[in-house]
């Protein structure tokens, strides 16, 4: 029990005795988990992974909006916890955010695939990788990459326009980090399109334009062997490749052996969480430098002319879907929670566990019942109570212990899902 200042001791302080260290251990022994991984659990695996990486963002991001993503309530809106997850919280909408960026790239990947499939009869598509020398800082790399790309595309478009052709490009940045040397490699993947039947040596034209643009942007000399150009044969693979950051999150591509010692953007967050001491400090510095270097710059972009070819797919509603029945059968009766309670969950580092529990369990599960007990004891205290830091830290600690016990129990059956 936290001792309060005399001015507020008359308030009723929520009891935490039911989750004393011994009580938590005893309760954990009787935690129940459904015997199978539900389809909803599978579909929320990526959500779990991205929210887990938010712990790096909350603690180390130099951008204020990123540190508050999914943490603070939307003004004049209630925060609600129910079987659909949590809602009523702000998002940062940053492309470098481990949640917002992942969602945006996943949407772009799906949209670009739709566009290409719908226009294969009209256009020829090619996959391109544009690289720059990596001896310079990530700040210089970010500046050079943006300037050189703009120069290159402007030149090639003008060249094509003079002969009556169009040239469109959609692109996404990619980054790899060597955790041993802390060397950062920022580059850009793109999908370029030209009308079918053209007779341009677009491979040579594009590389020459890129070579000149990088040099003009004080980026040094590019290496021909590091430049990649290949007509697209498999649309799905090409789209997944260009939006590698989203694909990486979905398929744990940060652990692909072919990358050698290098890790990607999501892999950097995973490595920070698993590292300690001086190595962790250096990785955090790399993370912060990348975020600052890309501040105000776009991480990906779809061509406006390509967007015009997107065809909206209308889903046919099916009232007999098993997923709907399953959702209707689940119920979590928590509802509105104080804004401070949600912030405390974020500060405990267990927001990803909350997301998993809300979307895959119900009131019959012990994990949910313990969660409800914590929330209901704190949900009606007034603002004066939260003015005392010790009171807030007690709640953070309770959520932390609740989350650890949930992980231990869930992990025995759903390890593959939670480790993605």
Banded pLDDT at 46 (limits 50, 70, 90): low
Ramachandran quadrant class, 154 (left: phi over 0; alpha: psi -120 to 50; beta: rest): alpha
Question: What pLDDT does 261 receive?
Answer: 82
Angle (deg, nearest 10), helices 339-347 and 351-360: 110
What integer is the mean pLDDT of 392-413? 88
pLDDT in tens, 151-186: 999 999 999 999 999 999 999 999 999 999 999 999
Per-residue model confidence as pLDDT tens digits over 101-126: 988 888 888 898 899 988 989 999 99
SS3 49: helix
Helix axes 277-293, 45-60, angle to 10 degrees: 90
Instruction: Note the pTM of the prediction, 2 decimals.
Output: 0.82
Q: Is the pLDDT of residue 21 over 80?
A: no
pLDDT for 236:
77
Could you give the percent of the chain with pLDDT greater than 70?
A: 78
Give 338-368 pLDDT, tens digit per residue.
999 999 999 999 999 999 999 999 999 999 9
Token pair of 161, please?
């326009």
Q: What is the pLDDT of residue 324?
A: 53
What is the reported pLDDT for 321?
53
Q: Note whether 176 and 263 are within 8 A (CB).
A: yes
Q: Give DSSP secondary structure letters for 107-170.
A: HHHHHHHHHHHHHTTTEEEEEEEE---SSS-HHHHHHHHHHHHHHHHHHHHHHHHHTT---EEE
- pLDDT bucket at 23, cuts 50 / 70 / 90: very low
- CA 87 – CA 162 distance, rounded (Å): 52
Q: Is residue 186 classed as helix, strand or coil in its secondary structure?
A: strand
pLDDT at residue 411, rounded to an integer: 64
Q: Over pLDDT 90: what percentage of the chain? A: 65
pLDDT of residue 252: 35
Given a cut of 50, whether residue 16 has pLDDT beyond it is: no
pLDDT, residue 274, reads 95
Q: How far apart are CA 405 and CA 400, in angstroms?
A: 9
User: For residue range 225-261, what is the model confidence (pLDDT) as tens digits?
Assistant: 889 998 887 777 777 767 754 444 333 333 333 345 8
Among 293, 407, 315, 311, smallest CA distance to 357 is for 407
pLDDT for the residue 310 = 93
Pick the more confident residue, 404 or 247.
404
The β-bridge partners of 42 are none
Contacts of 404 (CB under 8 A, 6+ apart): 350
Residue 132 C-alpha from the chain's centroid:
26
Give the closest residue to 105 by CA, choosing from 263, 3, 258, 239.
239
From CA 295, how far away is CA 96, in angstroms rounded? 9
Higher pLDDT, 326 or 212: 212
Q: 301-312, pLDDT tens digit by residue?
A: 999 999 999 998
Indicate if the alpha-carbon torsion angle 404, 408, 414, 419 is positive or negative: positive
Q: Which residues share a beta bridge with 89? A: 73
SS3 374: helix
> What CA–CA distance (Å, rounded) separates 274 from 283?
11
**Burial of residue 15 (number of CB atoms within 10 Å: 0-12, 13-18, 19+):** exposed
Q: Is the pLDDT of residue 410 over 50?
A: yes
- Asked whether residue 17 carries a pLDDT value surpassing 90, the answer given is no
Q: Which domains does the chain have, with CATH numbers?
A: 8-83+330-418 (no CATH), 100-307 (3.30.70)
In this prediction, residue 375 carries a pLDDT of 97
Res 386 pLDDT > 70: yes
> What confidence score (pLDDT) does residue 35 get?
30
Q: How confident is the model at residue 25 (pLDDT cuts 50, 70, 90)?
A: very low
pLDDT at position 109 is 86
């Amino acid at each position: 029990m936290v001792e309060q200042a005399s001015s507020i001791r008359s308030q009723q302080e929520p009891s935490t005795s039911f989750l004393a260290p011994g009580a938590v251990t005893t309760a954990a022994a009787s935690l129940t988990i459904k015997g199978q991984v539900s389809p909803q659990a599978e579909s929320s695996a990526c959500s779990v992974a991205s929210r887990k990486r938010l712990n790096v963002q909350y603690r180390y991001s130099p951008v204020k909006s990123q540190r508050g993503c999914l943490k603070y309530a939307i003004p004049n809106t209630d925060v609600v916890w129910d079987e659909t997850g949590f809602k009523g919280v702000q998002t940062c909408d940053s492309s470098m955010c481990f949640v917002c960026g992942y969602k945006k790239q996943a949407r772009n990947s799906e949209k670009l695939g739709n566009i290409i499939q719908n226009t294969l009869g009209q256009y020829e598509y090619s996959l391109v990788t544009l690289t720059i020398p990596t001896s310079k800082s990530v700040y210089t790399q970010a500046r050079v990459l943006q300037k050189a790309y703009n120069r290159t595309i402007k030149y090639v478009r003008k060249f094509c326009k003079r002969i009556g052709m169009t040239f469109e490009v959609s692109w996404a940045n990619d980054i790899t980090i060597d955790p041993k040397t802390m060397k950062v490699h920022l580059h850009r993947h793109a999908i370029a399109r030209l009308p079918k039947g053209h007779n341009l040596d677009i491979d040579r034209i594009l590389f020459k334009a890129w070579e000149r643009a990088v040099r003009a942007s004080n980026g040094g000399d590019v290496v021909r062997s590091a430049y990649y150009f290949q007509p697209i044969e498999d649309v799905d693979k090409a789209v997944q490749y260009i939006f590698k950051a989203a694909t990486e999150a979905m398929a744990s591509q940060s652990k692909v052996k072919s990358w050698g010692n290098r890790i990607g953007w999501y892999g950097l967050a995973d490595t920070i969480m698993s590292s300690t001491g001086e190595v962790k400090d250096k990785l955090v510095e790399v993370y912060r430098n990348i975020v600052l270097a890309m501040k105000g710059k776009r991480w990906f972009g779809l061509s406006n002319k390509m967007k015009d070819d997107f065809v909206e797919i209308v889903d046919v509603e099916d009232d007999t879907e098993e997923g709907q029945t399953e959702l209707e059968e689940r119920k979590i009766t928590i509802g509105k929670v104080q804004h401070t309670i949600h912030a405390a969950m974020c500060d405990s580092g267990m927001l990803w566990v909350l997301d998993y529990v809300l979307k895959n369990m119900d009131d019959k599960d012990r994990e949910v019942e313990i969660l409800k007990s914590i929330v209901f004891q704190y949900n009606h205290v007034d603002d004066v109570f939260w003015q005392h830091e010790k009171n807030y830290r007690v709640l953070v600690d309770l959520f932390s212990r609740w989350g650890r016990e949930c992980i231990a129990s869930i992990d025995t059956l759903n390890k593959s899902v939670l480790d993605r």
